[in-house]
Structure 1
Amino acid sequence: MATRAEWTERVERWERSGLSAEKFARREGYRPKQLYWWRWKLRADGPSQPSPTETPRFLPVHVVADLSPVVTEPIEIALPNGRVVRVRPGFDPATLERVLALAAEEASC
């Protein structure tokens, strides 16, 4: 009994051959109905891993500049204690972290 991998390879060879299922199956020694069923089954189960004989294909990739909008307005961070921290674009993350820690304290600043 042939495995799934063997049937995958058979169906791929049949599709590449350009032959009808009847001619291809007769040449290979099995029934056309088996080819049709396995083609349906393999497609229904979704894509499988590429066969060892199949060379992976890569698509070209083009890198473009970052087109995200430039933020010019400050952002506001409202803390649960009611304090608000305004941060301008280009801030230093380490400094912001220290400021937020201080602002989050319950004691008066």
Structure 2
Amino acid sequence: MATRVEWAERVERWERSGLSAEKFARREGYKPKQLYWWRWKLRADGPSPPSSTETPRSTETPRFLPVHVVADVSPVVAEPIEIALPNGRVVRVRPGFDPATLERVLALAAEETPC
């Protein structure tokens, strides 16, 4: 009689094979109902801890899925920079600012005289 671990391996091989339960079971020598029942049972019970005889998953051949690459059309929204001056004034600078203009604004904002 096959163990739970053996059935887990069988069900996994069946699912990887892409074959119907009938074809896979006929090829392996057991009944399709057994595959369906064990798949249900294993899923209902959750994953079992690996035994010492099981092959680690990291040694399996990876399965690749189709990928569709699309251009990123969402605009990048940069946050404004906030400059807090010692006199309590705050200057908010949006992306794409003119450095020369910012320099003049900071000089004016840094003055102690009211704006």
- With normalisation by structure 2, the TM-score equals 0.44
Cα deviation for residue 50 of structure 1 reads 4.3
CA distance in 2, matches of 1:91, 1:58: 46
Cα deviation for residue 49 of structure 1 reads 2.4
Q: Deviations over 1:35-94 (max 9, x none)?
A: 000000000001222466869999999999999999999999999999999999999999
CA contact (8 A) 1:9 1:51 kept: no
Q: 1:102 aligns with which of 76, 95, 108?
A: 108
- With normalisation by structure 1, the TM-score equals 0.46
Cα deviation for residue 107 of structure 1 reads 56
The answer for the alignment partner of 1:86 in structure 2 is: 92
Cα deviation for residue 106 of structure 1 reads 54
Q: 1:14 to 1:66 in 2, by over 3 A?
A: closer
For structure 2, the 5+ residue unaligned runs are: 54-59
RMSD value, Cα:
7.6
Matching of residues 1-109 of structure 1 within 5 Å: 1-50=1-50
Count of residues in correspondence between the two structures: 109
Identity of aligned residues (%): 92
CA distance in 1, matches of 2:78, 2:93: 11
For structure 1, the 5+ residue unaligned runs are: none
Moved over 6 A (4+): 55-109
CA contact (8 A) 1:25 1:31 kept: yes
Q: 1:71 to 1:9 in 2, by over 3 A?
A: closer
- Which is greater in Rg? 2
Q: 1:62 to 1:37 in 2, by over 3 A?
A: closer
